[in-house]
Amino acid sequence: MRANASAGFSIVSWTADGSNAGSIGHGLNIRPSVVLYKQRSTGSWYWWTNAIDGTEDYLVLNSTGGKGDIAATYGAPTSTTFSNFGFGTGNDMIAYCWAPVESYSSFGSYQGNGSSDGPFVYTGFRIKFLMIKIYSGTTSNWVMLDSTRDPDNVVQNNLYADTSDAENQFDWADFLSNGFKLRVSYSQVNGSGYNYLYCAFAENPFRSARAR
């Protein structure tokens, strides 16, 4: 395990022992909001999160599907450990763990309104990287946006985490000094009444964000 608690990020490698109980140390000293984990030799990338509604949910990073509920037998991550998630015995595993850090990273959810004057989502900082995934209402891609390709608003260039498709351009969102505002009515990020998960990282972290 390698951890940077100040940045709220750790990488953990372990060999599954067949246990569902919380037994894998993550080194963050706070309950993570996201654990991205995979069997190293095969299979899908599973995205565990409590950032949607506080309960234990999962999505699949290489899939367009919605969220599922993690069985109570797996147990919830704590400030020190997370579960083996029932991956059998002897399988080599990898996990990437994130906990929110004020002025640096934010994980949460919002509801779309289906308008080009979309909702504003508060993060507390100007965004460098943003990923959005619809989790209820319909199915769609994991949309990735950033300020490196789009230093000015409106942020237009996107890639999908779950496909090998080339870059697309739409008027997705404005990156503001304290969050982001959706500027498109597409169901991928802002369908009316649909619910979305987001993860965001700061362009100038730790209370030095600038307005655009």
Same domain, 90 and 112: no
Same domain, 55 and 132: no
For the chain, the domain total comes to 2
Same domain, 52 and 109: no
* Domain carrying residue 163: 105-202
Instruction: Give the total residue count for the chain.
Output: 212
Same domain, 69 and 110: no
Looking at 82, 98, 114, which one is the last position of a domain? 98
Rounded to two decimals, the pTM is 0.92
Looking at 44, 77, 98, which one is the last position of a domain? 98
- Widest pairwise Cα distance in the chain: 51
Q: Cα-Cα-Cα-Cα dihedral of 125, 130, 135, 141, to 10°?
A: 170
pLDDT digits (tens, 9 = 90+) for 150-181: 999 999 999 999 999 999 999 999 999 999 99
- Residue 87 domain-assigned (yes or no): yes
Average pLDDT over the chain, rounded to an integer: 92
* Secondary structure (DSSP) of 8-35: TEEEEEEEEES--SEEEE---SS--SEE
pLDDT digits (tens, 9 = 90+) for 100-118: 999 999 999 999 999 999 9
- Residue 149 domain-assigned (yes or no): yes
pLDDT computed for residue 209 by the predictor = 46
- Name the band, by pLDDT with cuts 50, 70 and 90, for residue 40: very high
- Residue 209 domain-assigned (yes or no): no
Quote the DSSP letter at residue 73. G
Run of H or E including 188:
helix 187-190
Same domain, 143 and 197: yes
- Residue 157 domain-assigned (yes or no): yes
- Residue 142 domain-assigned (yes or no): yes
